[in-house]
Chains A and B, each alone.
Chain A
Amino acid sequence: DAGITQSPRHKVTETGTPVTLRCHQTENHRYMYWYRQDPGHGLRLIHYSYGVKDTDKGEVSDGYSVSRSKTEDFLLTLESATSSQTSVYFCAISESSGLPGLALHFGNGTRLTVT
Protein backbone atom coordinates (compact mmCIF):
# COMPACT_ATOMS: atom_id res chain seq x y z
CA ASP A 1 0.00 0.00 0.00
CA ALA A 2 1.12 3.56 -0.63
CA GLY A 3 2.08 5.24 2.65
CA ILE A 4 -1.30 6.70 3.52
CA THR A 5 -2.75 6.64 7.01
CA GLN A 6 -6.20 7.86 7.87
CA SER A 7 -7.23 8.57 11.43
CA PRO A 8 -9.40 7.77 13.14
CA ARG A 9 -10.61 4.63 11.34
CA HIS A 10 -14.00 4.79 13.02
CA LYS A 11 -15.78 7.63 14.80
CA VAL A 12 -19.22 8.16 16.23
CA THR A 13 -20.19 11.71 17.03
CA GLU A 14 -23.29 13.74 17.81
CA THR A 15 -25.06 16.20 15.58
CA GLY A 16 -23.66 19.71 15.93
CA THR A 17 -20.21 18.72 17.14
CA PRO A 18 -17.03 19.54 15.21
CA VAL A 19 -15.08 16.65 13.74
CA THR A 20 -11.64 16.54 12.15
CA LEU A 21 -10.37 13.67 10.07
CA ARG A 22 -6.69 13.34 9.33
CA CYS A 23 -4.85 11.99 6.32
CA HIS A 24 -1.11 11.47 6.61
CA GLN A 25 1.17 10.45 3.73
CA THR A 26 4.80 9.44 3.61
CA GLU A 27 5.15 9.60 -0.20
CA ASN A 28 5.81 13.35 -0.50
CA HIS A 29 3.10 13.58 -3.17
CA ARG A 30 1.88 17.03 -4.04
CA TYR A 31 -1.82 16.29 -4.54
CA MET A 32 -4.18 15.09 -1.82
CA TYR A 33 -7.92 14.51 -1.98
CA TRP A 34 -10.87 13.83 0.26
CA TYR A 35 -13.74 11.71 -1.05
CA ARG A 36 -16.90 10.44 0.58
CA GLN A 37 -18.63 7.24 -0.36
CA ASP A 38 -22.32 6.56 0.16
CA PRO A 39 -24.59 3.76 -1.07
CA GLY A 40 -26.07 4.66 -4.45
CA HIS A 41 -23.68 7.56 -5.01
CA GLY A 42 -20.29 5.99 -5.47
CA LEU A 43 -17.24 8.11 -4.62
CA ARG A 44 -17.68 11.88 -4.61
CA LEU A 45 -14.90 14.44 -4.31
CA ILE A 46 -15.19 16.84 -1.38
CA HIS A 47 -12.01 18.92 -1.52
CA TYR A 48 -8.53 18.55 -2.86
CA SER A 49 -5.13 20.14 -2.38
CA TYR A 50 -2.44 20.82 -4.95
CA GLY A 51 0.20 21.97 -2.49
CA VAL A 52 0.77 23.35 0.98
CA LYS A 53 -1.94 25.91 1.71
CA ASP A 54 -3.42 25.38 -1.79
CA THR A 55 -6.85 23.81 -1.78
CA ASP A 56 -9.97 23.80 -3.92
CA LYS A 57 -13.54 22.59 -3.75
CA GLY A 58 -14.83 19.38 -5.21
CA GLU A 59 -18.30 18.20 -6.08
CA VAL A 60 -19.76 18.07 -2.55
CA SER A 61 -17.85 20.64 -0.50
CA ASP A 62 -20.72 22.26 1.44
CA GLY A 63 -20.35 21.71 5.19
CA TYR A 64 -16.68 20.78 4.93
CA SER A 65 -13.42 22.66 5.20
CA VAL A 66 -9.86 21.49 4.71
CA SER A 67 -6.37 22.55 5.64
CA ARG A 68 -2.91 21.59 4.47
CA SER A 69 -0.14 23.18 6.51
CA LYS A 70 2.42 20.47 5.69
CA THR A 71 2.96 18.34 2.61
CA GLU A 72 2.26 15.15 4.52
CA ASP A 73 -0.99 16.10 6.26
CA PHE A 74 -4.43 16.95 4.88
CA LEU A 75 -7.19 17.61 7.37
CA LEU A 76 -10.92 17.47 6.72
CA THR A 77 -13.14 19.33 9.19
CA LEU A 78 -16.86 19.14 9.68
CA GLU A 79 -17.54 22.35 11.58
CA SER A 80 -20.94 21.17 12.82
CA ALA A 81 -21.64 17.56 11.93
CA THR A 82 -25.03 16.60 10.55
CA SER A 83 -26.58 13.18 10.04
CA SER A 84 -26.25 13.60 6.26
CA GLN A 85 -22.50 13.55 6.75
CA THR A 86 -22.58 9.97 8.00
CA SER A 87 -20.39 8.28 5.43
CA VAL A 88 -17.11 6.56 4.69
CA TYR A 89 -14.39 9.10 3.98
CA PHE A 90 -11.40 8.26 1.81
CA CYS A 91 -8.20 10.17 1.41
CA ALA A 92 -6.18 9.83 -1.78
CA ILE A 93 -2.83 11.11 -3.02
CA SER A 94 -1.15 11.50 -6.39
CA GLU A 95 2.02 12.86 -7.88
CA SER A 96 1.96 16.06 -9.90
CA SER A 97 3.97 14.71 -12.76
CA GLY A 98 1.59 15.98 -15.41
CA LEU A 99 1.85 12.61 -17.09
CA PRO A 100 -1.30 10.65 -17.94
CA GLY A 101 -0.54 7.83 -15.59
CA LEU A 102 -1.59 9.99 -12.68
CA ALA A 103 -2.92 7.16 -10.57
CA LEU A 104 -4.64 7.92 -7.32
CA HIS A 105 -3.59 5.94 -4.26
CA PHE A 106 -6.21 5.63 -1.56
CA GLY A 107 -6.18 5.15 2.17
CA ASN A 108 -8.40 2.59 3.86
CA GLY A 109 -11.06 5.04 4.89
CA THR A 110 -12.68 6.53 7.98
CA ARG A 111 -16.18 5.40 8.86
CA LEU A 112 -18.01 8.36 10.42
CA THR A 113 -21.40 8.06 12.07
CA VAL A 114 -23.27 11.17 13.14
CA THR A 115 -26.12 10.45 15.56
Chain B
Amino acid sequence: DAKTTQPTSMDCAEGRAANLPCNHSTISGNEYVYWYRQIHSQGPQYIIHGLKNNETNEMASLIITEDRKSSTLILPHATLRDTAVYYCIVRVGGSQGNLIFGKGTKLSVKP
Protein backbone atom coordinates (compact mmCIF):
# COMPACT_ATOMS: atom_id res chain seq x y z
CA ASP B 1 0.00 0.00 0.00
CA ALA B 2 1.12 3.52 -0.73
CA LYS B 3 2.45 5.51 2.21
CA THR B 4 0.55 8.59 3.35
CA THR B 5 1.77 11.70 5.12
CA GLN B 6 -0.49 13.88 7.25
CA PRO B 7 0.18 16.76 9.63
CA THR B 8 0.25 15.69 13.24
CA SER B 9 -2.30 18.26 14.38
CA MET B 10 -4.51 21.11 13.17
CA ASP B 11 -6.87 23.63 14.72
CA CYS B 12 -10.09 24.97 13.25
CA ALA B 13 -12.62 27.52 14.46
CA GLU B 14 -16.14 26.28 15.01
CA GLY B 15 -18.37 26.98 12.01
CA ARG B 16 -15.45 27.34 9.63
CA ALA B 17 -14.34 24.82 7.03
CA ALA B 18 -11.70 22.33 8.14
CA ASN B 19 -9.31 21.32 5.38
CA LEU B 20 -7.20 18.28 6.18
CA PRO B 21 -4.38 17.50 3.74
CA CYS B 22 -2.84 14.16 2.90
CA ASN B 23 0.13 13.37 0.68
CA HIS B 24 0.28 10.02 -1.10
CA SER B 25 2.87 10.60 -3.80
CA THR B 26 3.49 6.88 -4.43
CA ILE B 27 -0.17 6.02 -5.02
CA SER B 28 -0.76 3.59 -7.86
CA GLY B 29 -3.52 3.65 -10.43
CA ASN B 30 -5.80 1.14 -8.73
CA GLU B 31 -5.50 2.51 -5.20
CA TYR B 32 -8.31 4.40 -3.55
CA VAL B 33 -8.06 7.11 -0.91
CA TYR B 34 -10.08 6.43 2.24
CA TRP B 35 -10.74 8.73 5.17
CA TYR B 36 -11.73 7.61 8.65
CA ARG B 37 -11.92 9.48 11.91
CA GLN B 38 -11.76 8.46 15.54
CA ILE B 39 -13.45 10.44 18.24
CA HIS B 40 -11.93 9.96 21.66
CA SER B 41 -12.59 6.53 23.19
CA GLN B 42 -14.71 5.35 20.27
CA GLY B 43 -13.96 3.07 17.35
CA PRO B 44 -12.94 4.65 14.04
CA GLN B 45 -15.72 5.83 11.75
CA TYR B 46 -15.70 5.71 7.95
CA ILE B 47 -16.08 9.14 6.32
CA ILE B 48 -15.55 8.97 2.57
CA HIS B 49 -13.44 7.44 -0.18
CA GLY B 50 -12.45 8.29 -3.76
CA LEU B 51 -10.34 7.22 -6.72
CA LYS B 52 -9.95 10.15 -9.13
CA ASN B 53 -12.96 12.39 -8.97
CA ASN B 54 -13.94 14.64 -6.15
CA GLU B 55 -16.53 13.11 -3.87
CA THR B 56 -19.11 14.53 -1.48
CA ASN B 57 -21.43 12.95 1.03
CA GLU B 58 -23.38 14.11 4.04
CA MET B 59 -20.26 14.20 6.21
CA ALA B 60 -17.54 15.70 4.04
CA SER B 61 -16.00 16.39 0.65
CA LEU B 62 -12.88 14.78 -0.75
CA ILE B 63 -10.74 16.67 -3.23
CA ILE B 64 -8.11 14.61 -5.07
CA THR B 65 -5.50 16.38 -7.18
CA GLU B 66 -5.33 15.57 -10.86
CA ASP B 67 -2.03 13.69 -10.45
CA ARG B 68 -3.56 11.89 -7.44
CA LYS B 69 -0.49 12.52 -5.33
CA SER B 70 -2.40 14.38 -2.67
CA SER B 71 -5.91 14.91 -1.39
CA THR B 72 -7.84 17.13 1.00
CA LEU B 73 -10.73 16.21 3.25
CA ILE B 74 -13.09 19.13 3.79
CA LEU B 75 -15.53 19.42 6.66
CA PRO B 76 -17.57 22.39 5.44
CA HIS B 77 -18.84 23.71 8.78
CA ALA B 78 -16.82 22.18 11.58
CA THR B 79 -18.48 21.67 14.96
CA LEU B 80 -17.00 20.82 18.34
CA ARG B 81 -18.12 17.22 17.76
CA ASP B 82 -15.76 17.01 14.78
CA THR B 83 -12.79 17.10 17.13
CA ALA B 84 -11.09 13.77 16.39
CA VAL B 85 -8.10 12.07 14.83
CA TYR B 86 -8.50 11.84 11.06
CA TYR B 87 -6.83 9.04 9.13
CA CYS B 88 -6.01 9.11 5.42
CA ILE B 89 -5.46 5.61 4.03
CA VAL B 90 -4.58 4.43 0.56
CA ARG B 91 -5.63 0.96 -0.43
CA VAL B 92 -6.43 -1.12 -3.46
CA GLY B 93 -10.18 -1.11 -3.90
CA GLY B 94 -11.97 -4.41 -3.57
CA SER B 95 -9.26 -5.94 -1.45
CA GLN B 96 -9.95 -7.62 1.82
CA GLY B 97 -10.30 -4.35 3.61
CA ASN B 98 -7.58 -4.88 6.21
CA LEU B 99 -6.75 -1.23 6.10
CA ILE B 100 -3.55 -0.07 7.71
CA PHE B 101 -4.02 3.00 9.87
CA GLY B 102 -1.15 5.44 10.41
CA LYS B 103 -1.05 8.11 13.08
CA GLY B 104 -3.46 10.54 11.48
CA THR B 105 -4.13 14.22 12.10
CA LYS B 106 -5.53 15.38 15.42
CA LEU B 107 -8.13 18.04 14.53
CA SER B 108 -9.18 20.34 17.35
CA VAL B 109 -12.27 22.44 16.69
CA LYS B 110 -12.32 25.46 18.96
CA PRO B 111 -15.27 27.68 19.93
Residues of B in contact (CB 8 Å), total 24
Q: Which residues of B contact A101 (CB under 8 A)?
A: 49, 93
CB distance from B8 to the nearest CB of A (A): 12
**Number of chain A residues close to chain B: CB under 8 A:** 28
Partner of B42 from A43, A48, A102, A108 at Cβ < 8 Å: A108
Classify the interface of chain B: helix, strand, loop or mixed. loop
Q: Are B93 and A100 in contact (CB under 8 A)?
A: yes
Tell me whether B100 and A48 are in contact (CB under 8 A).
no
On chain B, the residues within 8 Å of A44 by CB distance are 101
Q: Are the CB atoms of A31 and B42 closer together than 8 Å?
A: no
Expressed in whole angstroms, the Cα–Cα distance for A35 and B100 within the complex equals 10
Whether the pair B100, A100 counts as a contact (CB closer than 8 A) is no
Q: What is B's interface to A at a CB cutoff of 8 Å?
A: 32, 34, 36, 41-46, 49, 51, 87, 93-104
